Structure 1
């Protein structure tokens, strides 16, 4: 007797020598410029992966779908290309959602191709249909820009081209496509895809809004600028620098905007978003220009920011505009908006005798920040972060998990010529190492991942991925025996921590079991250990057992 379960689990019949829907998928992706795909094979997606074997696309198989999503995200951030993710039906698709939440929150362009059960089973709740969900794409609705179900092979090229266009159009983000198993497997009459074009939609600012913003800024006496992640995504750095120098305005970078403005520039407040001295500069501005940021939880210093002046807010996502503060909202791509604003602004000569000297204010504010840190007995933490920065080459791209070291890095990390990537968009654990894997795949050069012992366990299986592909990733694991941030929060709020302490493995032995070289060093030796790891081949791990503390944004 043949059961429905055994029928559902049977592999597909091979279609030797015939092109199928899977071929249309990979042909379209290749025509659009894709080079790399991340994911894990699955039963309903076998036709898709068989087609991969006939293409030039490189496939990187992670060990957990969530980490595949993080890797595609990290690839996109490092290279500026679209991340491509292949997912299997049901459990595989659902497991990737937390990774897609980070990409969606941060505005990372990705095209996600998820398989589906055969077309005739959709919506029928057929008994024994493996991996079936009532509405799979509805599960992705909160973490992707849009969701599409392809029901006919002839619709595959256009659907993927449209999805790619949407992914790269600001506000950028991941886009979800589902292809049923039979559509992937059935032979097709559609000719081979030869070319495909996906140009981002134009997203310029409205002329009258640019004119009004330029008027406000020209008349301002104490302007200031917040550069969020949209500044980097919009490649607006050149115009940001020009506008800041024209206005004589201090510039603060959010964690997502870290690197958008030169760290050592005389107008740079760097990234000290979690310090009240810096918050006060923003509050005192008579016009605050906010670019590519919602002034959300972290950038507003946990909603303590209370601006007394007017706000100009530029963002490609209309839902962000005025979401936290009334403002002159300009819905536009940051690059296009700042280019137009820069053209509209004259070069201003600030009268520094009138009591407002932005250069002096920045220097004074940064000195106060350092003085506050001096008062908090944080020499070990500051030295530790400085040693990591000193060990890292100027162009090194770095990936930071949600760990105490990353909270420090949000404020103190000078990205130099590299790029700073963190999971601050959605704040989930496990981003650092798989994100770095994607970066190493895309760049073909060494990258650094930084995790805590708690967050590292989310992605520990990806040591196998790094080893399999011999990827130049250095993974720094800061082991403090638990969920350090939550421990500190709970101790501060309740006087004790609950459920934050963790049994963890011997990370050195575990890495070596995967064939990955690893060392454990004291905090004072982290610089030398990292320098050695950066000079090595392939993946490696550096473990430091230490308890880092967060700095307080105000005097204790």
Structure 2
């Protein structure tokens, strides 16, 4: 018999799914029966939150949805945090779970893993949550999910299946097929014409790129060069223009330099950015309007109406829009002033960094210089905050983190596992604090099991250093931030990892060039590293 679970797996495989993250449970064993004989690889994390973070990292480096198989009840409550991070960052994630059988749903009788209304809980961190009640629903709901990933604002999708239906006979269902999906929407010709005209006539044009502009990197760089327009990149857009490009402004909007660029520009094209407070803080005008003309391009109609009010809101794909505007742009000499403005903004921010942030930024610059093909996966930790402040990634998708948006801890290790599995041999570096690592430290075993070769940079300040500083500056006694820190040198071999200590930049450079196979912990003592980095340039 061909079961519903087998039919579902066949559809996933037909649509390019090659990896699934999950922890088997009594409520999902039929999904695993479906995996048997397929070409889909299964990766077992040590916690369902780890499964979600792995799927997130995998999706960011492949552009494909990260897929998870999760048990009902505690499995779903465990993955909610990871789904929240993916929702905040617009990452495609497909979470397929079991749910209690029909007749047990919402009974309140205390069935194993019973929640009052699992779908309602998950709906808060997903584009939609759907309960399958008949085998005929499987293909339509998966088509709907993949259409969203292909042409809409990609966010997690949750599909739950009652346990009793997983082994339902699906022999009458047609053969699994690859979906024919809609393409991302193109901008209206009149909108393209107006944007091109405004940018061409502007004396100080500006481009703002968000995470939704990652796929438009090539067109954006060419457009910026044609205009001589600086490109402000949010954290999720770093590398859209390489950090060493004269027009690159890899800075958060939480600085006077970016505010000056926004205030001083007479025509701004914003692509795939929500102008969110974790990127722009409170520096945007309270009346929601800039002094110059603003076009906002986004796949989400509601998002276009939030925050900064656009003179021209465009519901369209960033890549289509940038490409078509470039084609419509009249020939003109690029403004040299744009490169001067970009350089001045970078210098203003970099000259005001405190020693810890400056050392973290130098570490990231060194890593990008010495390992130019690296994928850097960041947690909420000091060097990643430095990266958010002013790191110019060398290429799109080469630096991403959990420090903005939902702002989770423990992300970097499991997300690096997912990135390593999807990166096709590119070197992957996780960057995490000693406190954050203890959230998901069990995923070191998952990495060993998955045969990855991750370099995990552990920034050790013996606790929650950023929060401690924040408490002290706020006049609050630092309670609960000086935590016990494990001996990573002893711990790493127990998980099958190598270990190196790096208390200076020279030691760090030696560690990141270590050719040893397998996974490696690179522990950095913050105090020693910051002291050794003071005043040094790459």
Tell me the TM-score normalized by structure 2. 0.91
Q: Distance in 2 between matches of 1:379 and 1:398?
A: 18
Equivalent residue in structure 1 for 2:179, among 197, 206, 209: 197
Which residue is 2:536 aligned to? none
* Paired position in structure 2 for 1:178: 160
1:413 counterpart residue number: 391
Aligned CA distance change for structure 1 residues 93 and 378 (closer, same or farther; 3 Å): closer
Cα offset, 1:343, TM superposition: 2.4
Mapped partners of 1:385, 1:351: distance in 2:
31
1:322-351 per-residue CA deviation (whole Å, 9 max, x = no partner) reads 422221221211112222222222132357
Question: Which residue of 341, 346, 350 maps to 2:330?
Answer: 346
CA distance in 1, matches of 2:502, 2:202: 52
Is 2:298–2:314's contact at 8 Å kept on the other side of the alignment? yes
Provide the residue aligned with 1:141 in structure 2.
Answer: 123
CA contact (8 A) 1:111 1:167 kept: no
1:359 is displaced (CA, Å) by: 2.2
The alignment's C-alpha RMSD in Å is 2.2
Which of 343, 347, 372 does residue 394 from structure 1 map onto? 372
**1:156-555 pair list within 5 angstroms:** 156-191=138-173, 193-232=175-214, 235-271=215-251, 273-300=253-280, 302-306=281-285, 307-327=290-310, 328-349=312-333, 357-373=337-353, 380-391=359-370, 393-417=371-395, 419-423=398-402, 424-445=404-425, 446-494=427-475, 496-533=477-514, 535-547=515-527
| C-alpha distance in structure 1 between counterparts of 2:357 and 2:275, whole Å | 28
Shift of 1:148: 1.0
**Higher alpha-carbon deviation: 513-522 or 77-86:** 513-522
Tell me, in whole angstroms, the C-alpha distance in 2 between the residues paired with 1:433 and 1:377: 22
Aligned to 1:320, what secondary structure does the other structure show? helix
- Say if 1:40 and 1:64, in contact at 8 Å, map to a contact too: yes
Please state how far the C-alpha of 1:378 moved relative to its aligned partner: 6.5
Q: CA deviation at 1:284?
A: 1.1
Matches of 1:473 and 1:382, distance apart in 2: 21
Q: Is the Cα–Cα contact under 8 Å of residues 361 and 391 in structure 2 kept in the other structure? A: no
The alignment partner of 1:236 has SS state of: helix
Q: Which residue of 2 aligns with 1:123?
A: 106
SS at 1:494's partner residue?
Answer: coil
SS at match of 1:131: coil
Residue 164 and residue 380 in structure 1: after superposition, are their counterparts in 2 closer, same or farther (change >3 A)? closer
Say whether the 8 Å CA contact 1:466–1:539 is kept in structure 2: yes
Q: Which runs of 5+ in 2 are unaligned?
A: 531-538
Q: Please say if residues 437 and 473 of structure 1, whose CA atoms lie closer than 8 Å, have aligned partners that are also in contact.
A: yes
Task: Report the CA distance between 1:496 and its aligned residue.
Answer: 4.1
Hey, what's the Cα distance between the residues in 2 that align with 1:275 and 1:365? 9
| SS of residue paired to 2:422 | helix
Which one of the candidate residues 25, 33, 43 is aligned to 2:26? 43
Contact 1:480 1:546 in 2 (8 A): yes
Cα distance in structure 1, aligned partners of 2:176 and 2:390: 48
1:215-244: CA deviation from partner (whole Å, max 9, x where unpaired)? 322332211111111100xx1112212221
- Residue 381 of structure 1 deviates from its aligned partner by 4.3
Change (3 A) 1:381 1:124: closer
Q: CA deviation at 1:448?
A: 0.6
Show structure 1 runs of 5+ residues with no match.
1-17, 550-556
Aligned counterpart for 2:12 among listed residues 20, 29, 38: 29
Describe the shift of the 1:402–1:442 C-alpha distance in structure 2 as closer, same or farther (beyond 3 A). Answer: same
Q: How far apart are the structure 2 equivalents of 1:380 and 1:174?
A: 35
User: How many equivalent pairs are there?
Assistant: 521
Q: Against the structure 1 CA distance between its residues 385 and 195, is the aligned structure 2 distance closer, same or farther, given a 3 Å change threshold?
A: closer
Q: Secondary structure at the match of 1:112?
A: strand
- Residue matched to 2:534: none
- Listed one character per residue, the Cα deviations across residues 479-537 of structure 1 (whole Å, up to 9, x for unaligned) are 1111222222222222643322211211221221112112233133442343344x221
Between stretches 66-75 and 321-330, larger displacement belongs to 321-330
State the 1:178 CA deviation: 0.7
User: 4+ runs of 1 displaced by more than 6 Å?
Assistant: 375-378
**What is the TM-score with the length of structure 1 in the denominator?**
0.88
**SS of structure 1 residue aligned to 2:296:** strand
